[in-house]
Amino acid sequence: MYEEEKKNSFIKDFIIKLLYMFLFLFLFMWLYPAPKVDLSDVEVKVDKTELQPLFAGVFNDNINSMKEAAKSYYTIDRLPSTNGKSSKMTLQEMLNKKIVAPFVDANGKSCNASASYVEVTRISATEYTMKVNLECSDKTDYIMETIGCTSVCPGCVATPASTTSTKTTTTNKVVSQPTVVRPSTNVTPTVSQPKTYIYTKEVTNETWELNNTWTDDKKTGSDVKVYDTRTVEGDVTYETESYTYRTVSWVASWDQDANYTLILNQNTIPSNARNVRITSSSKITTPYELNKYINRRYSCDIRMDGNSCPRRTDDSIIQDRYLTSTPIATFRYSLDVYKSNGRWKVDVNANTTNTFYGEQKYIIPIKFTVTWQEPVREEVKEYKYQYLKVTKSTLTEYSSSSNDTNLINAGYKLVGTK
- Lowest mean pLDDT, pick from 89-103, 201-215, 237-251, 336-350: 237-251
In a domain, 65, yes or no: yes
CA distance linking residue 132 with residue 98, whole number of Å: 17
* C-alpha span between 82 and 362 (Å, rounded): 112
Residue 224 located in a structural domain: no
Say which residue, 295 or 105, is predicted with more confidence.
105
Local structure of residue 137 (DSSP, 8 states): S
93-118: average pLDDT: 90
User: Could you give the count of Cα atoms lying within 13 Å of 70 in the half-sphere of its Cβ?
Assistant: 30
The count of structural domains within the chain is: 2
Query: For residues 306 and 192, which has the higher predicted lDDT (pLDDT)?
Result: 192
**Exposed, middle or buried, 75 (CB in 10 Å: 0-12/13-18/19+)?**
exposed
Does residue 214 fall inside a structural domain?
no
Mean pLDDT of 93-110: 89
Query: Quick check: 365 pLDDT over 80?
Result: no
Name which of 53-67, 75-89, 147-161 the model is least confident about. Answer: 147-161
Within a domain: 71 = yes
**Quick check: 411 pLDDT over 80?**
yes
Structural domain span for residue 351: 234-378
* Cα dist from 387 to 204, 331, 391, whole Å: 16, 75, 13
CA of residue 362 relative to chain centroid, distance: 84
* Residue 367 sits in the same domain as residue 272: yes
Mean pLDDT of the 156-164 span: 40
The one-letter amino acid code at 56 reads A
Residues 254, 129 within the same domain: no
Q: What is the pTM of this model?
A: 0.34
pLDDT class for 161, splitting at 50, 70, 90? very low
- Report yes or no on 316 lying in a domain: yes
126 and 240 share one domain: no
Q: What is the mean pLDDT of the chain?
A: 73
Residues 261, 200: Cα–Cα separation, whole Å: 93
* Residue 198 included in any domain: no
Coil, helix or strand at residue 63: helix
Residues 140, 243: one domain? no
247 and 370, same structural domain?
Answer: yes
The answer to whether 398 touches 413, Cβ cutoff 8 Å, is no
- Identify the band that residue 242 occupies on the pLDDT scale cut at 50, 70 and 90: confident
Same domain, yes or no: 267 and 138? no
pLDDT band at 51 (very low <50, low <70, confident <90, very high): low
Residues 127, 152 contacting (CB under 8 angstroms): no
Top pLDDT among 20 and 104 is at 104
The predicted pLDDT at position 257 comes to 67
pLDDT reported for residue 23: 83
Cα(64)–Cα(69) distance, rounded to whole angstroms? 8
Minimal CA–CA distance to 368: which of 281, 290, 303?
281
pLDDT band of 96, cuts 50, 70, 90 = very high
Question: Does residue 134 have a pLDDT over 80?
Answer: yes
Q: Which percentage of the chain shows pLDDT scores above 70? A: 63
Which of the four pLDDT bands, split at 50, 70 and 90, describes residue 45? low
**Mean pLDDT across the stretch 173-198?**
56
Q: Please indicate, yes or no, whether residues 261 and 354 belong to a single structural domain of this protein.
A: yes
Whether the per-residue pLDDT at 311 is higher than 60: the answer is: no
Residues 148 and 247 grouped into a single domain: no
Instruction: Check residue 48 and give its pLDDT.
Output: 55
Q: How many helices (H) and strands (E) does the chain have?
A: 7, 14
- Tell me the pLDDT band of 178, cut-offs 50, 70 and 90: very low
In a domain, 205, yes or no: no
Q: Are residues 248 and 133 in the same domain?
A: no
Question: Which of 94, 127, 152 marks a domain boundary?
Answer: 152
Between 246 and 93, whose confidence is greater?
93
In angstroms, the CA 194 to CA 45 distance is: 51
In a domain, 146, yes or no: yes
The share of the chain scoring above pLDDT 90, in percent, equals 13
Lowest mean pLDDT among 9-18, 116-125, 147-156: 147-156
Cα–Cα distance, 71 to 91 (Å, whole number): 14
- 262 & 361 share domain: yes
